[in-house]
Amino acid sequence: MKVLDRDLAGRIGELKTKGGIIETPYLFPVIDPIRQELPLENIRRVGFSAVITNAYLAYKRGWRSKIHGLLDSKELIVMTDSGAYQLLQYGEVGVNNREIIEIEKLLDPDIAVILDVPTGDTLNRERAEWTVRETLRRAKESLEIIDRDKRLWVLPIQGGIFTDLVEMSASESAKLDFDIYALGSPTKFMERYQYETILDMIRAARSHIPPEKPLHLFGAGHPMIIPFAVAMGIDLFDSASYILFARDNRYLTEQGTLRLENIKYFPCSCPICSKYTPTELIKMSKEERTALLAEHNLHVVRKIINETKEAIKEGRLWELLISMSRRHPSLLSALKRIEVAHFNWFELYTPSVKGEARGGLIFEGDSTYSPRIARIKKFINENYIPPRLFKRALVMPIYFRVPDARSRGENHVIYYAPVLGAVPAELSGIYPIGQSVYQKLIGEEEQRRIALEIALYIKKFRSLYSEIELRVCLEHSILIGELKKLLEKENLEEGVELSQIRCFFAQQNSQEDTSE
């Protein structure tokens, strides 16, 4: 896969198939080879150029020719699944791995999947280990008969909730050099909103396969999880949720699903929601309503995929995760899991500078874990050395900064900002500090934290400053009180010669104080 852009562990890429190029991140809508309420032309019109269908079901129902003919669409890129989902649901499928591979070669899709053994949500480690070993055995067996010169072949990674087994499965799978790797068995966790479990599984798999190889997440098509999964390294998805929800009168949103009969106003402006009202859809026939709801659901999925791509391009994928995390408690749990368990891993993948990046939005709290913010903050704390020509420290909020803000004469301007803490003026224009927007009303806990960081900065370079002038907003009175106490304590205990601590309170929208 050719990588075009990246942010966090997510990327925009191009996956070349014999039927055309798929731009990732991408979701394959699941197509029933016999029963499909939403016409493929409508799916293509929404913006989906590739679909996935079930080779086992197509063959079982009597189809013995190219799968594009069954779907009556030569323009679409088609991926075939092997029947492993039916194996997970019913325990058996009546064919073996070699037979499925020959069936898929007969159907001639652009992308095909071997017949793996899904781990599912089992808590039985012995069972999970067997699914890993058996899937790997089948993968090795497949190498003898797959035709990689004619299509891309997918090897699923198993292990379920046992992340050490996922790591082992991924490591062994990587030695077999398939075109695409896939993470199996997330469906039950998706249904239970156990997104943090899925993120741990993705990390375990992504860390042990070659970075140039795409990673597919089976059965994860709800827009809620897509930005988080992409941020962790997922390139491809597939899902039937758009049509399954529609059959059950469920209306997809970025926050969850709504019952159509409970909706008064559509919170969406897609072509379906712009043309019809909830009441009008309810009065339609089951068949017509299902098709329209399914099309709306795909529009929602398409929107969040595009939003995720744009966030990658602009270097603000972390901000999108913060925004999404406030839409559902399970997403906030997912974000907190990333902050606790995956933050350092994210930092390894995140580019320091992006040519098309725009200014970020800095909030107290979760923005602390933005890799770029953490990186520049670490530089200031560990590597920055101020010029030795200043005698006074002039401390003020970063949003008092003007375009030509700089230290003058004996005054060394030190801005303070949420999350960043102390920012010397000469660094205030570098990315991402100078391109970001900061909140002005800062909570009490954050004010105390900023006060401590300013005090530590002053202590570190105490030989430079004999006087400190604080220019703050009335709303930051806790910060000024805490900072004065900290500096006075240092004066008593360390013998620091601070001749005067002067405090000026200013309006938030004033920039006059930056002229010194």
Q: Catalytic positions, please?
A: 81
Q: At what angle do helices 329-337 and 317-325 cross, to 10 degrees?
A: 140
Work out the burial of residue 105: count CB atoms within 10 Å of its CB; fewer than 13 is exposed, 13-18 middle, 19 or more buried: middle
**∠325-301-339 over CA atoms, to 5°?**
25
DSSP letter string, 92-130: --SS-HHHHHHHHHHH--SEEE------TT---HHHHHH
Q: Length of the chain in residues, anyone?
A: 516
Does the N-terminal peptide bond of residue 29 adopt cis geometry, omega within 30 degrees of 0?
no
The CA distance from 93 to 57, in Å, is 10
> CA of 364: how far to CAs of 83, 312, 326, 373, 384, in Å?
47, 22, 14, 12, 23
Of 2, 1, 10, nearest to 315 by C-alpha is 10
DSSP one-letter string for 151-214: SEEEEEE--TT-HHHHHHHHHHHHTT--SEEEE---HHHHHTT-HHHHHHHHHHHHTTS-TTS-
Task: Locate 43 and state its tokens.
Answer: 């799916």
DSSP codes of every residue in 311-368: HHHHT-HHHHHHHHHTS-HHHHHHHHHIIIIIHHHHHHHS-S--TT----EE-TTGGG
* Residue 147 CB contacts under 8 Å (≥ 6 apart), including other chains: 105
Within 8 A by CB and 6+ apart from 318, the residues are 7, 8, 231, 346, 367, 369, 370, 371, 372
* Pick from 411, 426, 420, 418: nearest CA to 471: 411
Q: Which residues pair with 78 in a beta bridge?
A: 51
DSSP-assigned letters across all residues of 16-64: EETTEEEEESEEEEEE-SS--SS-HHHHHHHT--EEEEEHHHHHHTT--
Cβ 274 vs Cβ 267: under 8 Å: no
Furthest CA-CA distance within the chain: 91
According to DSSP, residue 260 is labeled G
Strand partners for 159? none
Q: Record the tokens describing residue 346, joined without a space.
A: 């994210």
User: Is the bond into 186 cis (omega within 30 degrees of 0)?
Assistant: no
